[in-house]
Structures are given as C-alpha cells and as structure tokens.
Structure 1
C-alpha cells in the first residue's frame, strides 16, 4: 500500500529580513536561490556548491564521513580495474597489455618555443636531434608537477597538455587516472578525477546535463556523480582528453546558450564548453589534452586562472631506449638487437621520438622474430614504417574528416612539395589554407603561435622534415603515370652530378625524397597502400629510379677514386658489405676505380658482377676483390684457353658461388676440367653455365663426377659456342633436384622449325633426351656408353639395321639404369618404330614413373594417325604417365608430299596423356 507523501520545507532569510521558503514532497529536491543564513524546517539535507542533487538517502547516512571515504575508495578501486589494461591498435578481441608495461615517461616542457628553435629541431636528425632535447631549454616537467605552485606561488586551475598526433597525450591521460587511483599522484590535491573523452562525447546525441554527460564517461550513478560534484568541487579534477576532436560549431563558441548548473540540459558540446569556461563548477580544476592545431581555440574558452601550458615532445633518447626495453622485457637479446639496428638508421631513429612509431617498429620486429626471420633482414624500411604510421593515424585519429583520404594526402603532398622547393619547413596560415582544406583537423600538421611585436602569428609545419619529404614523395608517386614519370625524370635529371656546378638551383635537398620514392616503389609497400587505402603507385617510377641509381653508384666510386684519400675512402666504405653491380656494363676504367675502392672494404660479404661485360682482362683487374668476396655471382665473357688460370685464381676457395656464367667462351675439355676442379673447392654452388668448343663423352663424365661431390651445384649447363662436327650435341645440362639426378642432352642444330620445311620429316632424328634417376646411382652408370648410343641413334636412318641396333641398345641401357624415374624424348616425328619401342620401355621398366615424348622443337612436328591409334589401343596398360605432344597428320592415305597438302592436313594439335587406362 502506498505511503502518504510528507511535505518538507526550507526557509531562507537574508540579512535584510527577506524570507524565502520552498517545499517539496519526500524524495524530491529543491533548488534554493540563497544558501546563506538558512533556516531548515524538517528532516531535510541542504546541499551547497551545486545546483541539484539526487535522493538524499543515496548521499548521506548516519555516518556521512565514513560513507564518503568508502565511496572514494570504491571509485578508486573501480578506476584501477578499468585502467589497468589497454588494447593496442592491432589487438584481437580479448587481447590487452598492462598499461604499466607500455607506458614510458615522456619529455614534457612548460614553455612556448621560439620560431628559430622549432625550425632547427624540425631540420635536425639522429644524435643531434636527441642531444638538443637534453639541453636546459628542454627542462622536463613531470606529470606530478602539473599542479604545483608557479613562480608566484599560485596553483594552476587549468593545465593545457599540448602534443602532436601519436605523441602520447591519451596514453598519459590513462596513466594519470591509474596512478591517482593507485595513490601515487595527486592524492593530496584531488579527491576525485573524472575522465572525459571528447571522441566519445561526439557520439552522444540530444541535450544532456553535466550529471547526465558524466554518466556516459564514468561507471557511476547520478546520485554518486551529484555527491562528487557537491562534496568539495575544489577537490575535483576534470581530465578532458582530445579537445581537438570535439565538434564545435559557431553556436558552441557563443556563451549565450551555455547551461548554468549541472542539472540543466544542453548539447554535449555546450555543456563541456560551460565546464571549460568556468560557467559550471568554477571551483574545480581542469587538465585538457589537445593537438597543437586546436590550442588557440582552447585557450579562448578557458577562463580559469592561473593556467599552465605544457607540451608533450614525445620521447627523449633515453625514453626511446626504455620503450624498447619495456616492449621486449622478456627477451634481452631481441631488445638489444632491435634497438641497435634502429639506432643505426638515422631517419627511423629520429622518428622514434613519436611513441606510435616506436610501437610500430617494435611490433614489426616482434612479428619478424616470431617468423624466425633474421633481424637484419627483417628491419623494415623507413618508407614502410612511415606508411604504417600514416595508415594508423588515418584509421584512428581522423574521425570526421571533411575530405577523402586521396584528397587529404594529395593536399598534404602539394604543401610538402612547395616547402621542399622553397626550402621551408614553417608555413604561414594563408599558404596552408590555400592547399589544405581543413588544417586544424589534420593530424599530420602542427600549429604554432608566435609573437610578432604587438600581435600573434600562426604557423604550421609537419612533425619533422622527414615527414615533409615523405609526403612529397607520396604526392609524386600517386600522380597519374604520365605526370608522375615526367616529374620524377625531371627531378633526377636536376641531380645529375656532372651538372651541379653549372646549376644554381640544384636540388640536393631532394635526395631524401628520392629515397622515399624508392621505398614507395617497393612491391610490399605498394600492396599495403592498395589494400588499406586503395592507393596505386605509378609503376613507371621504379624504372626511372633504377637507371638513375646505376649512374649514381659509379659516380660515387669515381669521386672516391679522384679524391684518393685513403683514410677518407676507408671511412666511406667501411660499411660496404653487399656490392651489387649486376646489369651495369663496366669499362676497364670502371674496373680500376671499383678495385681501388673495394680494396679498402674490410669485409666483402657479397659481390654481384652478373651482366657487367667482364672479360678476362677486366677480371685480372678485379681479381683481388673477387677473390676476397664470401659470396659471388659472376659472368665472364669471351674466356679463352689461356685465361682460365685468371678465372681459377679469382674464384679462389671456400666461396658461396651463387652463379658462374662463362659466355661466348671456347673452352676445351682440359679447360673445363680446370674450371670444374675449381668448383669442387668452393663451400657451396648454385647455377653454373659454360660455353665450350665441343661437348664430348669426356665432358659428360667430368660433369657426372662433379655431381658426386658434397658441394655439387644445383645446376650446370654446357653449350657449344659454334657448330662443331666433333661435338655430339649442342647443349648439355645436369642438375640435382630433391635428391634426383637429371641429365639432359639436346642438339638444336638438327631442329627445323615448322614454317621452314616443305615436307614433314618422317625419318627419325633424335633431337633431345633426358633421364632422371636417384642421385645415388650416378657412379654406377656408364656415361661413355650412353653418349655413344645416343649419337648412334641420332645418325641412323629408320628401317635400317643400324637404327634398329642402336635403338635396341638405347632401350637396353635405359632398362639397366637402377631406379630410372623419368625419360624425355624429342624426335622429328613419331613413327611406328618409335611408338612401339616407347611402349616396350614402359612395359619392361618397373621403376619408370613418367615418360614424355615430343615431336619437334616446340611440339610442332608430326604424328601420324596410325601411330596414335597404336598408342591408344595398346592392350598392356602401363602404370607410369605417358605424355605425347605434337601436330597430327590425319591424311587417310599416304603421307603428305606437297607443302599445300601438309599445311592443310597436318594441323591437328595432339596432346595425349596416358595414365592407367585413361587417355586425355
């Protein structure tokens, strides 16, 4: 049964005798206009310093002091629980890390920097960049000191914490909340800290009072919020994070529509503005984080005095190292390796002052390490890290952008290019507004206010010169192909070293832009840009860059040679370990210059001289450098018999010979033996390609012996340099793949193209043969007999006793090869003799897994219908796979004799695959 409502009253009397009274039902509340000299009638609780409250029963009990302390303790416990863990940008559902494991102390200063000071920092890199931050000018103020007395012994009522995107403003806000709740900061200053995130406030619709607004940001009831606001508001700190993200219209900038008490509804932006301007809770304290682009707007709103301005500068050098230590706290070796590698890269090391970039680099290292990739190979390029950084800001710091991503990046690139051309890093407001549509909401720009006599001047910049260079390169790369190629070509031509003395307007300061262009031309970076933001880099840029790089490489070598200062050259080349000149034609003078510089390299890990037009004469010049290299890729042209000793001396011993090519050489068996003997002395072998005077049985035997050694190459090919009646074939190749030895013999001197012959070649002529068997069987095969039989089959005419004898000998030899797995045959045409013998081999060789038969050089010579039927109607079903490829002649009578007949009738593509009982 409902209880009757009791009326309570409040009587208020002013000093002049004015009396004000009000009444409310039990459970209601009263807003009293006068709160001094108050007379209370009835069981009523009067709440001061706040307009409005919830049910008094929720606020006070018989022991209000104890209840208040219990409530504060409970709130702090709740904050400790909610803020103990953070999710990272790439966290999967349920993944999180301890805030204390990630947070690293940031460099925070409390002064406005001069224009010259900012410009110097933007242009400085590496050790000089971080050294400047250790100076007295960058005297650090800690979070604990934010509300300490100033020089006039006054405690700030409001603190502005300014910082660029990714510099750690929000992370610092989280850490303040956790540390306060844990009792390590501000315990003597504030009983409550209330955290408001502007990004979340933007999502709130409708009109809300401050009490209602705080419900969205805190896990508190209205009664609890009201108690906090009325219980000594001078002990309450509002931590407002991300002011720059708050959507403020022109109406919001006016004071006309601001709420006057914490219970009055208004738009969320107006309510927050009332709090910032002191219209609500003027006794409370404020700590507001913002990007520099919104600091001037914030300062116009803040009316509380005194104020303290602070700026997060990111990490100091010590901070960068500490972040790596915290990130890799469970792996000391990985921590040290990662930090030292990044420290050696000036561009990346400088960018590490931005905490988000530090996190990206460490995350990449961790993933590389999980994949067991060697760290030195896993160090991502500066370009790829910058691309990841841009993607991170676009995904997480660009809510409510007024333009598309391509348009945003294009406008930034145009501004960056203008600065590069004019050698500027600070931009005035007018020039920025002409290019970038909404600079104050752009996360990649920084905004500064400078004093100019009696007025202020607004300037913008990129976070660092390296970002200006990156956006310039990105702008060029994302233009249409024709324009992109034209601009890059013009830029590279302007950097031609031979013209620098004549050029007044040289563009050496564009060299970092070219480095970023190279990075943007990388395939993985291209894929990343396409997948994340549907951005395509012009493919023509890469070709332009490669051509220019080749030219510049030799120019640098010539500069060192002309300088001829041994101490300086040693210093210049001390880190050269991988020298790749593949594809660059080298003159004799080039070789002298290269040898001069390489003699000062302490360690030549890898040297690539493939396709460099190296002759024996040039090889003599480069011999010392070639001999010192640990890994070598080498092509030598026109090597004669007398020059083999030079090659053998240059190869030396114990190398990882990834490639050796002897082109257009005329080597005898004796010279081939010298080369092969040298190969046996190497640590490992890759591909070897030789051209010789003639290929004999001795050549085959020598190659088979090489492949019996532990250091056998993966592949060796030998080709005859010119027609030789002594050579039984034109090319020979030997390889070992997955434990199987494969020998292939080919004679293209006998091959006639389909269009060059006037009638089909029905006489047998063996064009090529290859066989595959286990590597362990090489030594048991009589290769001399094999070559003699092949030569006999090749020169015999079908239907002759010689042909039958040689063919039977070939079949007998193949059957004798233990473990024979594959056979490949290429003849001019498939005749009945060939067809029947193929079937015979299949039926009598149980280890055979695959046999391929092709007519003509490209499978374009003839089969005849009768032979095809013979294969199709074989009663014995073979186990291996039989593949037959060529052109079919379907003439019902005798073979075609005239070219017109042959062209008309012999045009059926035949590709048969016989496996088990099925033809395809």
Structure 2
C-alpha cells in the first residue's frame, strides 16, 4: 500500500495532463447494463453526447464500483468501463487505487493489482501462471511468500483493453482453473475474465468503446461509462485555470462561439490543450485574435511546444525562431510515426513500431523528453517503456501535417496506398494540392465509421494561408493560391449535393468551417431568422446545411415539430437525424412514419416521446412501431394519441407492454372507439410482470365491461400504474363503482386519478 501511495502521488505531482480535476470525471451506469459497441470515430460519439444534456443514467462513485445497487441480487464480479480517449478512465482507476492505499476507501480489500494492457503486451511470447504473473509485476507478494490468493479479497484492474495486442479468443481457449499452472498470458486473462481462475476476485476492465465487444456479455456483471465534462463543468475548469474573471469570461465566450471547440472541450485533455494555447496567445498578444478552428488551435499548440523546447532545452530566447533544424527533424519523424501508425490503428508504440518508422528507442526518448506535452514515454510501473502521443487528436493532427508537408515538398500523395506509376505520371502531370484534397475527401467519405473525419478537417485546414503563416519555419513553402482553396470548397459543396449520411454531411460542414467558408450555413440561418425558409425549394446541400444548423444549435432539441418545416415525406426523411437527436416528435406525416419508426430502434436515437395525434396508423404501421419499441436500444417511454387501434393492433401493442426490453412508461389511448375485446388484449399486457407503464391516458368511450377489465388491471399484483387519466371518458355511476373496486384493493399502485 505504501508503494502504491508513493507511486500515484508521484504521478499526480508530475502534472500529467490527463490528471485533470478528478472531481469532474463522472462514472455513469449505462442504461440496460450492456456494452453498446460503436465503431464510429470518437469525435462523432462526442458530438452525439454533446446533443444529449439530459443524462438519465445512475451516477456512481469510483469507490463504490463493485457495490451492488438497490434491487440487484447477484454480486458484481467484473465491471467494464467505456470512454473515449482522454476522457479519464486511467485517472479513475488510479484514484481508486490511491484512495485504497491511503486507507480512505475499500478497506475490506486486501490486494489491488493494477495492470495495463500496454505492459501485458510485452509478455505476448512468454508463459506465466496467475501467481507467477502477480509475482512478476508485484515482487513484494513473492518476497512475502504469498502463493495463493483464494483466501483474500482481491481486485484486478486491467486498463486499456483497446490497446491490447494479445489474441483474446474467448471461443477457442483451453479451460484453466489452477492459478499455479503456467500458460500464455492471453489464455490466463481469458480464464480470469471468464471466472474459471480465481472466481472470488473482482475485475475492473477499461476500454475505448470500439473495443468493448472483445469481452463476451456473459462475462460482464455491469457496464459503466466515463462521461466527459458537461457544459457547466467546462466553465468551471476554465474559471479554475484562469483566475482573472474577465480573462476567463472572454475565453469561455470565445469557446462557445465555435461549435467545434465547444464540442471537443467535452474531453478533459482538450480543455487542457485549449487552456495552454489561449494562455500563450493572451500573454503574447494583448488584443490578438483567438484561434477559432480546430486546426488553428492545434497549430498554436505545436508552436507553443516548439517555443518551450527552444527556451527550456536549447537555451534560446522567446524572440528566437521556434523551429531549429533539429526540431524540424524531430517533428518530421513524429509526423511519419503518427501517420503510419494511425493507418494501422495503433495508438501506442513499441520498439518494433518505432523501427518501422526509422526511429530508434534512444531518439524516441529524446523526443519525449523535449516535446513532453506532445509525445510521451511510459515505462509503466514495472515494465519496459512504450510511447504514445498525449491524445488521439494530436496523433491525427501530426499525421495530417505529415501528409501535407510530404505533398508540398515532393508532390507525393501518401493517401494513395500504391503509386507504382507515380513518377511516370509526374512527368506529364504536376500534382496539385487540390488533387490531394479531393482524394482525402473521397477516402474519408468511403470510411463507414468516420475514422478519417478529424484527420480530414486538419488536412484541409492546413491549406489556409493564415495557418501556414503560423507554421512558418516548419514549412519550407507557404502561400497557396486562392484558386486552389476555392476549388476545394467547391468540390466539398458538390459532395454535399449527393445524398450522404447525416454524419458524413456534418463532417463536411466542419471541413468548410476549417476552410473559413460558412456561406451555405449563413444562407440557411438568414432564411430561418427572417422566417422565409421554403423547404420546397431547398437543394440537397441546403437540406444538409439545415440539419447541420439544427444539430449544432446550443438549444436543447427538446421537441421536433415537422410542421415548422414541411409536412412532406421528403422533409421527414431529410430531417430524420434531427428527430433521432430530439426528445419528442410530433406532427409527422403518415407516409414517413415507417422511416421514422426504424429510427426509434436505432442505438443512437434519443427519442423519448412520440405524438401520433395526426396519424391514422394502419395495422402494418402499428406492428412496425411495436417491433421498433421492443428493440433493446429503444428509449421511447411516452406514446401519445395512438388512434384507430384494431384488435390486431391491440395485440401487437400488448406484446410491447409485456416485453422485458420495452422502455414504455406512458401510453395515451385518446381514441373514439375501442372494442372491449381490444381492451382486454391491451390490458393483458398491462398486467404482465415485465410491464413498467406508470401512466395511462384514455379519452375513449369506455363501457361498463371496459371498466370491469380496467378494474382487474388496477387490482393486479403485477400492475405498475401510478397515474390514470380518464378526463375525457364518459364515466357513469356503474363505471365509477367498477373502477372503485379496483382502486381500493391493497395491490393497486395508482397514486393519481
């Protein structure tokens, strides 16, 4: 414990940029407790998260991670914690261990063994028993003669599953139950995670979302997610960093004006990068213009680090040129490493990775020593050193810079995987920057998961003359013709005229922002402000601009009303991404309902309330609705004004209510004629043990027989109804008597009538 306390206090005092205000990092239990896996670029995930300020999940503290929540019977053995790069997963596990080491929490635990997959990767070719692995990393246990952990309360932490290079095959692994028997590290881990080895131990695994599915769901007791800064927490961070209230206010206002910067500040590490840059800009230029785009922000960040190196390590003055020949060579090497390894999907680098890029271990240590806030060396607590960039976005920026520099200096387009005829073509055609940009846009659009989205924004942003001026000294050639710039803008607008997915269109608009072209967006904004927007005449590019504006708005997307724009099916189809991000949808066209309902079952859909008061749904549409609402991903919990229900529709809706995966909490049956047979079928669903509906609204003409059925629902032991609204029903004395019979039963849960 003393050793851990010393180690982690050292990490904290070192000022590691990821250790930012631990009090802000919050852990949330994800709805449903399952690992929803997405392979989308993390910037897309952050953008989606930024549109969902209403967090309904349960918050838990890291010290309570293995404590079962109220109503949970089975103990928690394995916790899987997701979170994008730089969000604070490692900090969370370190804080958990430090609090234990300082006797602040979890004193019932005898041992905590924190491992990182970075360290375990080094042992890929070696064999250990579980006891031997613990002895290898934690020599104190071996010295104490501890060779059995069955009688202790033990927690294993495995940090960074997404960085694992071990072949974790859960389907073809030998079963191992003896903790003293040696095998490969991957077999050891699989049996530990499956509970075959040391089943009494607790396991905490952290990962980026894209790798979460490497662990089978039946091996995970609970899934949690580290969410980044909320908007108030972003402000709190900058006010804490900048004590001058006026300066802090100016910085916060500036970040809010740039949607790209504001979204990225969701990540604690980006807040640190932003603060580092803005502090330098405000100190060196009294009335200097603050960076407005991501590219500009990262260029400033690079320049700040070059200045630090020049002054701190080279003995230069603040006024000296930032880029010495040595610094340029370092940055070129790091850029090549960033691009080559990004292409392979590697975010951490071992000796073999460095050698491939022409960097030896000694040089890498020098780079990490002088560019400490860009590239870092990590020895781990017990193992050989590995290297990484401080954040994925920094690697993406340097990769884009490398591609840009290579093209400017040699005319070589690195995005073309094979160019056997390149030099032959160069004899007849001089490659242009425009051709590089076009190939980059094409390549990014072909990526189904947006893995080149941020890289593309940086690459295009680097072509701006203002940004090239900032990089003077690193770039040997500056100045790009306005004609080239305009051709790139024109090409992007042409691509926006093709039917693209919402995510791809949104990224192209971010690309236009990086190129300082906001003409399309400003045109639609002007029409919205003046109330003269006519959706009948919008081009595909203008539709995309409207979607971008609505999704980028700081206003909470609480209710989507199609009438504001159009009641046509085309309008609904074009605006489906906005519907997905909204909490409530109403005034939808009947013809577009099927398309809408497919959205309801989407994993990323945020829709909680659906108002069908203007729709006359036929049987097939209701069946489709029922199937969508039953999806494990559906978050819809309010269904209003379901009209013209046939007996067949009642059966479909009843199955929804009784489905274990249904999230329905409120149902409005404001209809005119509902047959008793239909009511019986529907109310059968309400009596199901799985039904969690707590509000029923009904304006239909209920007969005495209908009230008799409703009465039996109210007195059912499994009923979860809390509110019953019969304000538009024709209640006769006989109906009141029948209703009262159900209401007075001890099993009745109704609180509001």
TM-score strictly above 0.5: no
> Which has more radius of gyration?
1
Report the TM-score when normalising by structure 1. Answer: 0.35
* Greater relative CO (CA pairs within 8 A, separation 6+): 2
Q: Which has the higher strand share?
A: 1
Q: Which has the higher helix share?
A: 2
Report the TM-score when normalising by structure 2. Answer: 0.42
